[in-house]
Amino acid sequence: MQQILVSDTSVLIDLKRGSLLEASFRLAFRFFVPDLLYERELKDWGGEDLTRLGLVIEQLDGAGVSLALAYRKRMPALSLPDCFALALAQIHSWVLLSGDSALSRLATDEEVECHGVLWLLGKMHDANVVSIRKLHNGLTAISQHPRCRLPKTEVRRRLSSYADRLR
């Protein structure tokens, strides 16, 4: 059985920015997003392409919506779609993918396993679904974007490691 990952929008944007989106869907994971997140943030941003790749849109039931609203009340700085993503992961005991540090901290507080883009790049490397060159180029593109929130030290370490393997 494939492990299910619930993604926030920022992870998918980073993967697309690094031309690694399609490769991520070749991993042994199934990618889910809550319906509210899809409708508000992804539908008009390549939503059809994402579903063609295998993205699954999941609806929260009443209890899930209540949980998402409780998260929003607890941390008003989080977007409602992010709260829906966390609630979806929490209810089903799935893994959350997030590029938002506040969302990641709340997930940890709620004992929801949470990872980010760098973890996913490591999985791509381990599964050999992309070349080292593509990982290097992808991480370079992601890290050079002005809105990149990845830890600079870890990005430099990985880029150096990838570059060493390309020599």
Predicted local confidence at residue 40, as pLDDT = 96
Cα gap 72→161, rounded to integer Å = 39
Cα gap 99→122, rounded to integer Å = 15
Q: How confident is the model at residue 82 (pLDDT cuts 50, 70, 90)?
A: very high
Kindly tell me if the per-residue pLDDT of 1 is higher than 70.
Answer: no
- DSSP-based three-state secondary structure for 96: strand
b/e for 55-82, b at 16 or more Cβ within 10 A? bebbebeeebbebbeebbeebeebbebb
Mean pLDDT of 75-88: 98
Kindly tell me if the per-residue pLDDT of 153 is higher than 90.
Answer: yes
Kindly tell me if the per-residue pLDDT of 148 is higher than 80.
Answer: yes
Domain count, the chain: 1
Q: Kindly give, in sequence order, each residue whose CB lies less than 8 Å from that of residue 22, ignoring residues fewer than 6 positions away.
A: 53
Range of the domain at 110: 1-167
Q: pTM score, two decimals?
A: 0.94
Q: How confident is the model at residue 65 (pLDDT cuts 50, 70, 90)?
A: very high
Please give the distance of CA 164 from its chain centroid, rounded to a whole number: 27
In this structure, what is the dihedral angle of CA atoms 24, 28, 32, 38, given to the nearest 10 degrees?
20
Residue type, 48: E
**CATH for 4:** 3.40.50.1010
Q: Which ranges constitute the DSSP H helices of 33-151?
A: 35-37, 47-53, 62-74, 80-92, 101-109, 117-127, 132-144
State pLDDT tens for residues 21-50.
Answer: 999 999 999 999 999 999 999 999 999 999
